[in-house]
Amino acid sequence: LGKSEFTGQACAAVALGGVFLGEPVTKAPVLVVTLDEPVGDTVRRLVNRGVTAGVFFYEERPSLPQLEAAIVTHGVRLLVIDSVTEFVAGLVEDMNRASDWQPILKGLRTLAQRTRCAVVLIHHANKSTGRYRDSSQLGAGCDIIAEMSAVESDATLRKLVIRGRGVHGTVMARLVEGTYELEDAREMPLSVKIVRVVTANPGISLAKLRAAVGGNAAAAAREIERLEKQGAIENRGGSGRGVGKAYYATTPPAAVEAGPGMPG
């Protein structure tokens, strides 16, 4: 689904003092416990975002005292554990038993409180429900749960259901040129939404483009045709009825109404 990519973007924003999902973040050191993928993949992800310093790694599971010492020594303000399953391997006998999870989660919570470091735990979802899997103690031990799921009609779109202390709701994030951006279909002009979908999905068919845009199908069809005539998008596939169309964004795109993630 892209959980590591999503949190990697957040790590880069903190390390650089940049912006994450439209919100500015304070520059600070980051610590990543990268157990679920080769550390080289994590490093490349950060380097591709301009990070050259300020991120520390554990390639093997550290003890809680080791984690706390690293956080204090380096002034870390964001700790990411990827993934929880790998972190508790050999420590949790029954993944569904709350009593097995409780001491580990309590230790991480105490660490966060003592060091004032934010802790992000990456975990896997239950494929049948989309909710986090294993013991409910996992959710009880966290301040906020963000459950990421795919959107069937658009491979670049992710839905995040947010639940927690003082925070709740649904957030849509789109992967545009390797970066997640907030997607707000309610406020975004139809023309901008179409161009963004086409930009993120080169060669998308007419049917998939309409499905990704949603709303009134006739209005979407008219706007797609208008943008094609305007030169903002182009069809490189078939041109007749029943013939597959393939839409691409023009480079540079013709002027369209500016919106989230689009140049002015």
Tell me the pLDDT tens digit for each residue of 119-145. Answer: 999 887 766 666 665 666 777 778 888
To which residue do tokens 């007749």 refer? Answer: 240
52-97 per-position pLDDT tens digit: 999 999 999 999 999 999 999 999 999 999 888 888 888 877 777 7
Residues 6+ apart with CB under 8 A from 221: 210
To the nearest whole number, what is the mean pLDDT of the chain? 82
Question: Does the pLDDT at position 218 exceed 80?
Answer: yes
Structure token pair of residue 227? 């943008």
One-letter amino acid for residue 122 of the chain: I
Confidence (pLDDT) at 251 = 57
Work out the pLDDT band at 261, boundaries 50, 70, 90: very low
One-letter amino acid for residue 110 of the chain: T
Confidence (pLDDT) at 33 = 93
Mean pLDDT check: name the lowest of 3-17, 54-68, 123-137, 170-184: 123-137
Work out the pLDDT band at 257, boundaries 50, 70, 90: very low
Selected residue with higher pLDDT from 159 and 167: 159
Work out the pLDDT band at 167, boundaries 50, 70, 90: confident
Q: 226 and 237 in contact (C-beta within 8 Å)?
A: no
Q: Cα separation of 234 and 242, whole Å?
A: 18
Global pTM reads 0.67
